[in-house]
Structure 1
C-alpha cells in the first residue's frame, strides 16, 4: 500500500505526526512524505499522485481537482487529518469513486467539550472569581454566579459538534431548541429535552450557540435584525465561523452590553492586537482552539481508517458526498 503524505515538513506536521504516530503509519504502508517544507501546488501534487493508493492531507493542502484525479491512477482513499474536506475533496474525487475520510467527528467532540467548558466558565463566573481572588478579594456575593441548570439553549445549526454537545447537555436540566433546516425529522428523537424550532425561537434563548457550516447560504445569516432577537442578559457563543455573523452588528450589540459573547473565531485571524473585541469585558475570547490544538488523536483516527481500508473493512470516519456539500468552505 503506497501512502503519500502531502503535508509539508515542519512544526505543524510534527504536531499531527509525533514520532509514535509517524512510525505507526510507516509500519503499515510504504510512505512518501512531502519533505520540501513548503505546501505543494496542485501541479506539484499532480506530479506525485501516480501510483498512490492513499493520499493524506492537512490544512493548507491543495484540493484534489479533476486534473489531479485524472493522474491518480491507483488512488482509492483520500484521508484528511483536519475536519472539513470542503476545499480538499471535489466532485471529481467522488465521481471517481475515491473514498474520503477525515477527523471531522473526532475534532467535533473536542469542540463540543470546549463549548461546554466555556459556557460553564461564564455562567459560574469562574474567570471573574479567579481574577478577584488574585487581587485579594473574597466577596463572591458581588458576582452574578449562575447555573446552567434550568436554562434554555438555542443551537443555530446542529451538525456533528452540536450532536456531541447535546450528549454533554444530558446531565443538565435544560431545554434545547435546535434550528437546522437540513436535519431529518427523526434526528432529535433520542434527545427528549430537545425540540426543533425556527430561527427566531432558537435565538430567543438564554444561551445561543452557533454551529452552522460556513457556506454561501449561511455567510452573514446573523445580522443586526437577527442578533436583536437575542434576549437581554443572554450569552452568544460562536465556535463555528465568524463570517456567519455580521461583525459590525455583533460589535454594536456587545458595546451596548445587552448580552455577552464567547468567541473562538474571528473575521481576521489571528485577531489584531488593536481589535475592539479585546477591550470589551463582555466578550470572552479564545484563539480558534476549540478542537484544533488536540492534534495526534485526529491523525490516529485517520490512520485507523487507513488500516480499515487496507483490511477491506467499513470506514468509520467516511465523509459521503451529501455531507461534503454542506461542510464549511
Structure 2
C-alpha cells in the first residue's frame, strides 16, 4: 500500500522566532509529519510566495508576527483545515470566517503559562521577603538593616490573593501549594466546589484586595476586566502590600496605579504596563518600590522550544486521527485571554 503524502503546511510568523521555537531536532520531527519549507515564514499573506503556499496549505503553523487570518487570507487558502498556534491567545488572530468555515485551531497557551507562573512564584516569594525594597535600601545605605526593619518580612502564612483562575492562575495556585502561604482566589466563573479542588478560599474581589499582603493578577484582557483595578479598588490593598501584574496593563487604571506607587503606600512588580513600554519620563522606572521588567514572564529564549513541542505533539495526534489536545473553541474566547 502506498504511503499517503504528507499534508502541506506553512509557517506564518516572524522568522526570527523559528530557530528557537523549532530547533534542528524538533524541526526534523516536524518535517516527518508535514511537508513544509523551513526557509519560508510569511508575515504578509498578499505576497506572491505566501499566496502560492496558502493555496496548497492544509496546516498553518502560526506564531508572533502572524498577520490576521481574515476573509482575504481564507479566500486564498481553500484547503486549510487547521491552525496550530505556537504562542498564546488566538483571539485577535482568527477572524469570524475561520469559525464559520468550521476550521480547527490549537494554541500553545498552556505551554506559555508555565514560565509566567514560574516568574510569578519567584516574585511572590521575593516580595514576601521584601527583597526588592531591602535591595534598594542596601544599595543606597551600604549597611544591613536594623532588626526592627525585618518585622514585616517573611513568607510564613503570607496572605496571597490570586485574581483569575486562568491557565497561568491555576498553575500559580498549584505551585503555591508547596509553600506555607495563605491563598485566596477571586474568579466569578469558579464555584466554591472548584475553588476547594484548587486548594484555595474563594473571595469577592474587594474582600480579596482588603485581606491580601500580595495580589497577583491573572485575569484575561476582555471588556469585563478593563480597568478592574481602578482607583477605589487599588486603595483597598493594605499599606505595604504588593501588586504583581503578569497579565495585561489594561486591567489596571494606570494613572491611579502611578499615584499609589509614587506615594509609596504600596509596591508593585510589573512585567506588563499600559502603555507598553512606559514613556521614558515615567516615574515608575526610578521608584524603589517598583520592580519593572520588560514583558519577560512569558516564553523567552530556550523556553520557546516548549511552544514548538506543543505544535509537533498536536501534529502527531492529528496524524493518528486524534483531535488536538489544546483545541481552542470559539466559545472560549469570551472569557479567556
What TM-score, normalized to structure 2?
A: 0.87
Query: 1:189 is paired with a residue of what secondary structure?
Result: helix
Q: Give the drift of 1:41.
A: 4.4
Distance 1:281 1:126 in 2: 11
Deviations 1:84-112 (A, max 9, x none): 11111233222322221111011111111
Q: Conserved in 1, the CA contact under 8 Å of 2:55 and 2:79? A: yes
More displaced, 183-192 or 42-51?
42-51
Q: Conserved in 2, the CA contact under 8 Å of 1:64 and 1:89? A: yes
Q: Conserved in 2, the CA contact under 8 Å of 1:238 and 1:265? A: yes
The equivalent residue for 2:44 is 40
Taking a change above 3 Å as real, the CA distance of residues 60 and 325 of structure 1, as seen in their structure-2 partners, is: farther
Match of 1:57 among 59, 62, 75: 62
Residue 214 of structure 1 pairs with residue 218 of structure 2: no
Q: Give the drift of 1:317.
A: 1.6
The equivalent residue for 2:313 is 304
Distance 1:140 1:111 in 2: 34
Deviations 1:27-81 (A, max 9, x none): 3211035637x72146775664222111011112122223333443222211111
More displaced, 173-182 or 291-300?
173-182
Deviations 1:133-169 (A, max 9, x none): 9986455736537223312222222211110011011
- For structure 2, which runs of at least 5 residues remain unmatched after alignment? 1-6
Taking a change above 3 Å as real, the CA distance of residues 206 and 53 of structure 1, as seen in their structure-2 partners, is: same
The equivalent residue for 2:294 is 287
Query: 1:217 is paired with a residue of what secondary structure?
Result: helix
Taking a change above 3 Å as real, the CA distance of residues 234 and 127 of structure 1, as seen in their structure-2 partners, is: closer
Q: Conserved in 1, the CA contact under 8 Å of 2:68 and 2:93? A: yes
Taking a change above 3 Å as real, the CA distance of residues 186 and 54 of structure 1, as seen in their structure-2 partners, is: farther
What TM-score, normalized to structure 1?
A: 0.89
Query: 2:194 is paired with a residue of what secondary structure?
Result: coil
The equivalent residue for 2:209 is 203
Residue 18 of structure 1 pairs with residue 27 of structure 2: no
Distance 1:34 1:267 in 2: 36
Query: 1:203 is paired with a residue of what secondary structure?
Result: helix
Query: 1:173 is paired with a residue of what secondary structure?
Result: coil
Matched positions, count: 325
Match of 1:101 among 87, 99, 106: 106
Q: Give the drift of 1:308.
A: 1.0
Output the aligned Cα RMSD: 2.5
Taking a change above 3 Å as real, the CA distance of residues 136 and 283 of structure 1, as seen in their structure-2 partners, is: closer
Residue 159 of structure 1 pairs with residue 147 of structure 2: no
The equivalent residue for 1:3 is 9
Residue 315 of structure 1 pairs with residue 324 of structure 2: yes
More displaced, 162-171 or 194-203?
194-203
Distance 2:39 2:250 in 1: 32
More displaced, 267-276 or 112-121?
267-276
Distance 1:18 1:62 in 2: 23
Residue 229 of structure 1 pairs with residue 236 of structure 2: yes
Q: Conserved in 2, the CA contact under 8 Å of 1:5 and 1:34? A: no
Query: 1:237 is paired with a residue of what secondary structure?
Result: strand
Query: 1:73 is paired with a residue of what secondary structure?
Result: coil
The equivalent residue for 2:3 is none
The equivalent residue for 2:264 is 257
Query: 1:21 is paired with a residue of what secondary structure?
Result: helix
Q: Give the drift of 1:315.
A: 1.9
Distance 2:192 2:77 in 1: 40
Taking a change above 3 Å as real, the CA distance of residues 94 and 187 of structure 1, as seen in their structure-2 partners, is: farther
Residue 121 of structure 1 pairs with residue 130 of structure 2: no
Distance 1:216 1:41 in 2: 29
Match of 1:248 among 251, 255, 260: 255
Q: Give the drift of 1:184.
A: 4.7
